[in-house]
Amino acid sequence: MNGQAHLAEIAQNLERLAEALYGLPRDAIEVPIREINDALRDLGDGDVEQLLQQMRQTGLVQILLAGDVIRLNAAGKLAHSSRCTSELVLGEQFIGSKYRNSVVHIIVRNELGDESGGTGFFVSEPENRIVTAGHIFDGHRLVRIEDISGNIVADGEVDIQIAGGRLDLATIRCDQPAGVTPFRIAWGDNTVSELERILIFGYPPFAGHNVALVSASTQIIALAPLTGEPGKHSLIVPRLAAPGCSGGPVVNKAGLVVGVVSRDNILERAHPPQFTTYISATPASYLQELPGIRDL
């Protein structure tokens, strides 16, 4: 069994365990381990114990000193209801393997015939939509969209919606290929905080067809006011993402998209003189302002 298949099997068992613990209509605070072992008898007591320890290390359950009782908690219940138990327990490696097929390479051409690339990603809501950054279409027209293997997913004959103002967001209507696990958006306010660990996906600068999907593990540096959009902010992240990553997803530890990679920005400090280049990302929750995205 290869690494991705092994991770997928562990994830499936974790979800079964989370359902046994938190999915039943009961008000229990504590559950005997023997009850869980009985519910997951096909896994064996040792495997269940190992999965429980992984959940405990992530803070999704507590195991009492006696070792025969599991104490349930709000974090585990929230993870189960949000369908992100596996992401929280298995971390970035699992998130990368689960969602990488959802990230696409967007190729555009300007009026001089020069091509450049950006990144986009399929989302679960709305269905059959790719989310990307609006600025990659500035003075360009869409040529094609390719999947992680370089197969053409769509060409220029697609419906594109670009957000107004400075939101730098766009969506492309596109049928979702088989085998893709679309990203889920972290809707609502206060979905991200400073110093939060994140994972950024994208395709480095366009160079013929020698393009590969990369991911960068980093953190949110700060939340900054979004110029021209009163009451809104952008996410500031280290400049680990290359220009071709514009439009790529910024993903939190639960596997939810909290932002969309936007433009380079230069922060100038007068005393002492200093120039810092950083990447900004538009909060993904602002997607709800595009027509047809989400009626909150």
Residue-wise pLDDT for 11-29, tens only, equals 999 999 999 999 877 777 8
Portions of the chain given CATH number 1.10.10.10: 3-81
**296 pLDDT exceeds 50?**
no
> Look-up: residue for tokens 């562990």?
10
Question: Which residues touch 236 (CB under 8 Å, ≥6 apart)?
Answer: 220, 221, 222, 223, 224, 265, 278, 279, 280, 281
Which residues sit opposite 283 in a β-bridge? 259
- Cα dist from 147 to 8, 36, 103, whole Å: 21, 41, 7
Pick the CATH number of 3-81 from 1.10.10.10, 3.40.50.2000, 2.60.120.560, 3.40.50.10950: 1.10.10.10
Residue range(s) of every CATH 2.40.10.120 domain in the chain: 92-296
Distance CA 107, CA 136 (A): 9
3-state DSSP assignment of residue 16: helix
Sign of CA dihedral 99, 100, 101, 104: positive
Q: For residues 205-222, give the mean pLDDT.
A: 77
Average pLDDT over residues 206-232: 79
Encode burial over 144-173: b for 16+ CB neighbours within 10 A, e otherwise.
bbbbbeeeebbeeeeebebbeebbbbbbbe
Q: Is the pLDDT assigned to residue 266 strictly greater than 70?
A: no
Topology of domain 92-296 in CATH is: Thrombin, subunit H (2.40.10)
Residue type, 53: Q
Alpha carbon distance 140, 128 (integer Å): 23
- 129-185 pLDDT, tens per residue? 999 999 999 888 899 999 999 899 999 888 898 887 788 899 999 999 988 999 999
Report the percentage of the chain scoring pLDDT > 90.
Answer: 45
